[in-house]
Amino acid sequence: MRAISSNIQATNQPTILSSIRSEFIDLRLRQFITENKIRDWPLDCVVLLRQMQQSGKYGILKIVTIKDLPRGIDAATHYYTKTKEYFMWFNRQKLRYPFQRSSDRRLNFTIAHEIGHIVLDHLILPSKKTETEKYMDDLEADEFAGRLLMPKELICSFNYYSLEAVASWLNVSNSALATRLHRLNRVDLILSRKVKSCPQCGNVRFSSFASYCGVCGHVRRKGDLGIRRIFYPDEIVMDSYKRSLVCPKCESSLDCISCDACPNCHTSIFNICSDDYGCSYANSAYARYCEICGKPTCYKGAGLFTDWKDFYVTVQR
């Protein structure tokens, strides 16, 4: 069950919170992420819950929205021991989807909380739980939801231009993000130094005169506030003159000082712009796109780089 103030209470109860089963939550969360092939954030739990129901793996029989749940309850989940099935109710008055404002995004956390009750097996015990036990279950479900929607590594890798900007990126309410930062003891992130980054791919590496992002080709504009911060590593071995040391295509040695291409396969020794008649700029060892004109680089054209989107996805966990 998720009541209005459960995750706010959580921040005020450090002693009780320290007794939740942190490692158990982590273990179940990891299994859940693998089972549901979750690779990419932000999460949309409306979609996730539908997938869980359709998969049949979790015994979720019915998800219904009703006009009003008692005492300001957002949602409730019940387990029927006989049929081994879950019923879930959501308060229709709290449903605003797709999420737009911070208050709409509260639903995402509410659903993640209810999923937490299922994944953590809170409801399958036949005996009735005491109020304290139910309260502990709610704290654990809140913790599960926080970790699912806001993985630690991910939330530590943002530019906090504002709490709202990051919360909006993550599809959570401002207060859910504030609570998570508080729980992680990382409220300092809100005031931490900002690093210039690409609003599309999060790349933080730019040559001095770059007009385009070398990783994704996005045009750079003054006043762009990139939320993500991702260091895309060099994928080619180069010297400080941006000259390849071995051929990135056939791995032949490139020690011939006067050559401008591999003697074996004719790949350029520089990651030059693919625009033969224009730019000819030699790009860095991470650049899929020419930082001067935005066209693909010759090494990207030769298929020598991983797709930046694959890298973007894998660093989020």
Q: Which residues bind Zn ion (CB under 5 A)?
A: 1-2, 138, 141, 198, 200-201, 203, 213, 215-216, 218, 247, 249-250, 252, 262, 264-265, 267, 273, 279, 281, 290, 292-293
Report the Cα 244 to chain-centroid distance in Å. 34
Please identify, using beta-carbon distances, which residue of 45 and 198 lies nearer to Zn ion. 198
Is 101 or 257 the residue whose CB approaches Zn ion more closely? 257
| Cβ 55 to Zn ion shortest distance, Å | 22
- Using the minimum distance from each CB to Zn ion, give the nearer residue, 77 or 168: 77
Nearer to Zn ion by Cβ, of 188 and 310: the residue is: 310
DSSP state letters, 226-265: --B-B-PPP-S-B-TTSBBSB-TTT--B---TT-SB-TTT
Please report how close the Cβ of residue 314 comes to Zn ion at its closest, in angstroms.
Answer: 16
Nearest to 316 by CA among 234, 235, 197, 228: 228
From the CB of 201, what's the least distance to Zn ion, in Å? 3
- CB of 188: closest distance to Zn ion in angstroms? 27
Least Å distance between CB 134 and Zn ion?
8
Phi, psi of 85 (to 5 degrees): -130, 150
Beta carbons of 157 and 230 less than 8 angstroms apart: yes
49 backbone φψ class: left, alpha, beta (φ>0; ψ -120 to 50): alpha
Considering the complex, state which of residue 111 and residue 170 has its C-beta at the smaller distance from Zn ion.
111
**Distance between CA atoms of 110 and 178, rounded to whole angstroms?**
16
154 vs 201, beta carbon nearer Zn ion:
201
Distance CA 124, CA 58 (A): 12
Beta bridge partners of 178: none
Q: How far is the CB of 64 from Zn ion (least distance, A)?
A: 17
Cβ-in-10-Å burial (0-12, 13-18, 19+) of 266 comes to: exposed
